[in-house]
Chain A
Amino acid sequence: MLIAFILQAIGLMSLSLSMDKHFKAIFNQPLNATIALTFKTIGWLLMMISLLLVVQMGVIFLLYWMALLSFGIIFIAISYCVINEIT
């Protein structure tokens, strides 16, 4: 179960990095199309894999997955907020 949620978190992270605004905040340089595409593919792929893992485990875990998805999004939003504050 832990693996599934770590995959989900990394997936969300790389999805956020495929967006210009957030890429700039981390790497301090504009994002080009190929890198964006790479991040996007990796992100969606990891999310899919983690979803598949969770579905196999049972319904309750699917609920956990949905809930943790929400927490992942808010966590990443707050961390970008903090990063922008520092730099």
Chain B
Amino acid sequence: MEWDIAVNLRVTASFLGVSFGMKPDFRKCMIWLHTYSGLILGWLLYAIFVSGTLSYFNPEISQWMKPELNRGSHSSELVNQSIEYLQTHASDAERWRIYMPNERTQHWKVQWNTGRERHSQTLNIQDGSMIEVRDTKGGDFFRTFHYTLQLRGYGGRYIAGAAAMLMLVAVFSGIFTHRRFFRDFFTLRWNKFSKLLTDSHAIAGVITLPFCIMICTSALMIYITMYIPWGAEHYYKGGQRELNKYTIPALPKLDKNSEIAKKQIDFSVLQQKINQVWLGSDQIDTITIERPNREIGRIIVSRVKQQTLSNQAERLVFSSVTGQALPGYPNNSAVVNVRRVFYGLHEAQFAGTAMRWMFFILGAAASALIASGLFIWLNKRLNKTKKQHLGHLIVGRLNLTGILGLLLAILAYFQANRWLPIDIENRASVEIEVFFWAWLATLVHSLLRPIDKAWLEQLLAGAMLCFSLPIIDFSQDPSRLLGSFGQTNMIYLTFNVVIIVVGFIFLNIALKVRHRTNSVSGNALC
């Protein structure tokens, strides 16, 4: 081990030597950089990539986690029904917003603001009646977790940004570290565990190279004014906030005390106008009505994002009294548009089902890339030395908790969604607490058990969690699953199928681990 440190020191020295005009060994530097940027942030990056990958199916996961939602054919009457509902329940609100249901969300929601209070109500697609949906964050949890790490206000986004930057470093230095991958292109050897590890690491690296660069760059672009704030701070007194005020286009403010309107425009008139501009069916995503029932009121209609790479949807503005088209949002500057397109690329709202799955699989491959890298680090060192020391022990435990434990925690989150009583207080945050407690439990478990046993037990636990999930769902309310067969709700069915497939993968790996521990004594699995 001392030898290892000595080498590291020498490499560090040569790395620093670049600036002194010494001749450093470039590749050694790159290997060192790749190894330690990967090791230090590997588990964090893995967690970010896994939860980020799940966010590609955010509405679908939310739909599964809110089984109260009804499916139905969306009629053109939905908007008028929503306005009717809002008129009876919130006629004096300052703003109404209608979230139109689509294939992915199946969620028809109206929202209104009075003063600082915000109310929302989910409506039944089939008959327009009110439905109570269980209190859950759904897929949004993964989405927020992957960039705030549940530490919003405590620098979570800075940590995630640093991780994205180091991922870029690891990706580029990886090209020099694994330079054999050009000779071994299209090669995968699965006879030997260590060969399989390096090969799959190299292949996953090659195929996700464009994806990783795109994801990490766009991730940095989303919060670019946070990560590089100096320009904004220099030119604007209020810093980023003021910069945003200048760059985000807004409509003129409406007068609060305008006169009450006698009648409002019927939305079907507007619908005809919209249909002429936005071709295709179901083009409306949300409708915002500002100052309803007032002379000055206006309607802002924003389009679904399937037609654009940008994350800024197209918007049309109308008067809510006369129905005339009002001047819309001012155009974005080119710089803002560039950021918007990066944002859109990151979120991939434009992607259809096939494209979405491609992104999902690439994200999973990138997670596998990080995980296999962490395995390689430990495997290489354990093969060299007979004696384990503390560092190996810690990395081994963290590999188990970080890689497998995270997946178990996600499954626990899904289980909690079904098990927790509907009417407890703060149900959504209790679900998230279950996620973190389950994750902690896997850490404790990995510390208490010998490493091979711990892997085996956690894999089996994961398989059990997977297989029991559809069964619990079915036993709680058979009509959900049967209904999704009847309505061919592919989203609900696919969720169950994917969970079962993941369960089989866990089981398969568990069998392999047991086989290895039986054939090789000692530390079989790094």
Does A74 reach chain B (CB closer than 8 Å)?
Answer: yes
Inter-subunit contact A67/B187 (CB<8 Å) = no
Inter-subunit contact B211/A77 (CB<8 Å) = no
Inter-subunit contact B207/A73 (CB<8 Å) = yes
By a CB distance below 8 angstroms, the chain B residues around A70 are: 207-208, 210-211, 362, 365
By a CB distance below 8 angstroms, the chain B residues around A77 are: 186-188, 203
* A-contacting residues, B171-215, CB 8 Å: 183-190, 203, 206-208, 210-211
CB within 8 Å for A16 and B207 given contacts A64-B355, A67-B355, A71-B358: no
Taking CB as reference atom, which chain B residue is nearest A12?
B186
CB within 8 Å for A59 and B309 given contacts A67-B355, A77-B188: yes
By a CB distance below 8 angstroms, the chain A residues around B32 are: none
Main SS of chain A's interface residues?
helix
**When the two chains form the complex, which single residue of B183, B184, B189, B203 contacts A73, counting CB atoms closer than 8 Å?**
B203
By a CB distance below 8 angstroms, the chain A residues around B223 are: none
By a CB distance below 8 angstroms, the chain A residues around B211 are: 66-67, 70
Report how far A50 CA is from B318 CA in the complex, Å: 45
Report how far A68 CA is from B207 CA in the complex, Å: 10
**When the two chains form the complex, which single residue of A19, A63, A73, A80 contacts B355, counting CB atoms closer than 8 Å?**
A63
Q: How far is the CB of B201 from chain A (nearest CB, A)?
A: 13
Does A40 reach chain B (CB closer than 8 Å)?
Answer: no
* A-contacting residues, B354-387, CB 8 Å: 355, 358-359, 361-362, 365
Inter-subunit contact B203/A81 (CB<8 Å) = no
Does B350 reach chain A (CB closer than 8 Å)?
Answer: yes
Q: How far is the CB of B367 from chain A (nearest CB, A)?
A: 14
Does A21 reach chain B (CB closer than 8 Å)?
Answer: yes
Inter-subunit contact B208/A80 (CB<8 Å) = no
By a CB distance below 8 angstroms, the chain A residues around B186 are: 16, 19, 22, 73, 76-77, 80
* B-contacting residues, A69-87, CB 8 Å: 69-71, 73-74, 76-78, 80-81, 84
Does A57 reach chain B (CB closer than 8 Å)?
Answer: no
Report how far A71 CA is from B186 CA in the complex, Å: 11
Does A60 reach chain B (CB closer than 8 Å)?
Answer: yes
By a CB distance below 8 angstroms, the chain B residues around A73 are: 185-186, 203, 206-207
Considering only CB atoms and an 8 Å cut-off, how many residues of chain B contact the other chain? 22
Q: Please, what's the 1-or-0 string for A8-41, where 1 marks a CB less than 8 Å from any CB in chain B?
A: 0000000010010110000000000000000000
Inter-subunit contact B190/A67 (CB<8 Å) = no
Inter-subunit contact A19/B185 (CB<8 Å) = yes
Q: Please, what's the 1-or-0 string for B454-487, where 1 marks a CB less than 8 Å from any CB in chain A?
A: 0000000000000000000000000000000000
Report how far A77 CA is from B206 CA in the complex, Å: 12
Inter-subunit contact B362/A81 (CB<8 Å) = no
CB within 8 Å for A81 and B190 given contacts A67-B362, A73-B203: yes
* A-contacting residues, B80-123, CB 8 Å: none
Q: Which of B183, B184, B187 counts the most chain A CB atoms within 10 A?
A: B187
Taking CB as reference atom, which chain B residue is nearest A64?
B355
By a CB distance below 8 angstroms, the chain B residues around A59 are: 309
By a CB distance below 8 angstroms, the chain A residues around B359 are: 67
Taking CB as reference atom, which chain B residue is nearest A17?
B186
Q: How far is the CB of A13 from chain B (nearest CB, A)?
A: 10
Inter-subunit contact B350/A60 (CB<8 Å) = yes
By a CB distance below 8 angstroms, the chain B residues around A76 are: 186
By a CB distance below 8 angstroms, the chain A residues around B350 are: 60
Taking CB as reference atom, which chain B residue is nearest A74?
B207
Taking CB as reference atom, which chain B residue is nearest A66?
B210
Inter-subunit contact B188/A81 (CB<8 Å) = yes
Taking CB as reference atom, which chain B residue is nearest A13?
B186
Q: How far is the CB of A24 from chain B (nearest CB, A)?
A: 12
Q: How far is the CB of A62 from chain B (nearest CB, A)?
A: 11
Inter-subunit contact B185/A16 (CB<8 Å) = yes
Inter-subunit contact B358/A80 (CB<8 Å) = no
Taking CB as reference atom, which chain B residue is nearest A73?
B207
By a CB distance below 8 angstroms, the chain B residues around A84 are: 189
Taking CB as reference atom, which chain A residue is nearest B196?
A81
Q: How far is the CB of B347 from chain A (nearest CB, A)?
A: 13
Q: How far is the CB of A19 from chain B (nearest CB, A)?
A: 7
Report how far A16 CA is from B359 CA in the complex, Å: 25
Q: How far is the CB of B499 from chain A (nearest CB, A)?
A: 23
Taking CB as reference atom, which chain B residue is nearest A78?
B188
Report how far A80 CA is from B365 CA in the complex, Å: 19
By a CB distance below 8 angstroms, the chain A residues around B208 are: 70
Q: Please, what's the 1-or-0 string for B298-315, where 1 marks a CB less than 8 Å from any CB in chain A?
A: 000000000001000000
Taking CB as reference atom, which chain A residue is nearest B348?
A63
Q: How far is the CB of B197 from chain A (nearest CB, A)?
A: 14
Inter-subunit contact B187/A80 (CB<8 Å) = yes
Report how far A22 CA is from B186 CA in the complex, Å: 8
Q: How far is the CB of B215 from chain A (nearest CB, A)?
A: 12
Report how far A68 CA is from B359 CA in the complex, Å: 10
By a CB distance below 8 angstroms, the chain B residues around A74 are: 203, 207, 365
| 24 interchain pairs, CB-CB under 8 A | A16-B185, A19-B183, A22-B186, A60-B355, A63-B355, A66-B210, A66-B211, A67-B359, A67-B362, A68-B358, A69-B207, A69-B210, A70-B211, A71-B207, A71-B358, A71-B361, A73-B185, A74-B203, A74-B365, A77-B186, A80-B186, A81-B189, A81-B190, A84-B189
Besides A16-B186, A70-B211, 5 more A-B contacts (Cβ < 8 Å) are A64-B355, A70-B210, A71-B358, A74-B207, A76-B186
